[in-house]
Amino acid sequence: MIRALVFDFDGLILDTETPLIDAYARVYAAHGVAFDRSYFLRCVGHADFTFDPWQGFGPGADQAALEAERRACKDALMLAQPILPGVVSLLDSAQAQGFRIGLASNSDHAWVDAHLTRLGLFERFDFIACREDAPSPKPEPDLYRHVLNRFGLRGHQAIAFEDSHAGSLAAKRANLWAVAVPNESTAHHDFAHVDLRVTSLAAVTLEGLVATFQR
């Protein structure tokens, strides 16, 4: 029997990924430097991917100044982002039906907790597992196993919601049911391994998911 829902954060509850890339794009454009969006998209959902965000500016660039410019732009874009469609209604349904509600994120608590608090969602989660809470980030299953252990559940008793390849793979490696909800920045990812792919959380209901996965 399914007894818990576990959400990713970045790109699933709040689109923090598109603003991140858009901020780089705006700084590049402001300085007349060509921007390779595909290069930046490669970092989305991959905690182990390293890249040089200012490679297009050459070795003499004032990277500290560029980073300050990018951060200001990103913060402004981020604050304008709404909670993504379907998130609140799914949380409401889960709470009303007595489901445990968890969160597993490759970001750290300082980032996730602050945004959830700002959005009025922090108290909606029974347990939040972030990057510093597990030995390895996604795509390893450690974060999901940490949530399951806290809830005293097995993988097949929980549904995970993810927007990235790495996140959904982590969920499957921990034996959760995995629902992929790709966004603009992750639509190109491989989701062949997931149990269900949807365009938005607004397209699903808790009742429908439980009926699908408990057949």
Give the pLDDT confidence score for residue 51 in this predicted structure. 72
4-7, strands of its sheet edge to edge? 127-129, 100-104, 4-7, 158-162, 177-180, 196-197
User: Can you give the pTM of this predicted structure?
Assistant: 0.88
**Cβ neighbours around 211 below 10 Å, total:** 11
Q: Does domain 4-15+82-213 have CATH number 3.40.50.1000?
A: yes
159's CB contacts (< 8 A; 6+ apart) are: 2, 4, 5, 6, 176, 177, 178, 179, 209, 213
* CA 45 – CA 96 distance, rounded (Å): 31
Give the pLDDT confidence score for residue 198 in this predicted structure. 98
Give the pLDDT confidence score for residue 85 in this predicted structure. 97
Cα Dmax for the chain: 61
Active site residues: 8, 10
pLDDT digits (tens, 9 = 90+) for 112-132: 999 999 999 999 999 999 999
**Considering only CA atoms, which of 2, 14, 162 is closest in space to residue 74?**
14
Tokens 């510093």 -> residue: 132
Give the pLDDT confidence score for residue 184 in this predicted structure. 82
Give the pLDDT confidence score for residue 188 in this predicted structure. 86
Start-to-end C-alpha separation, the chain: 10
Tokens 């182990």 -> residue: 48
Give the pLDDT confidence score for residue 50 in this predicted structure. 67
CA atoms within 13 A on the CB side of 212: 14
Where along the chain do its domains lie? 4-15+82-213, 17-79
Give the pLDDT confidence score for residue 60 in this predicted structure. 87
Give the chain's residues under pLDDT 50.
none
Give the pLDDT confidence score for residue 53 in this predicted structure. 87
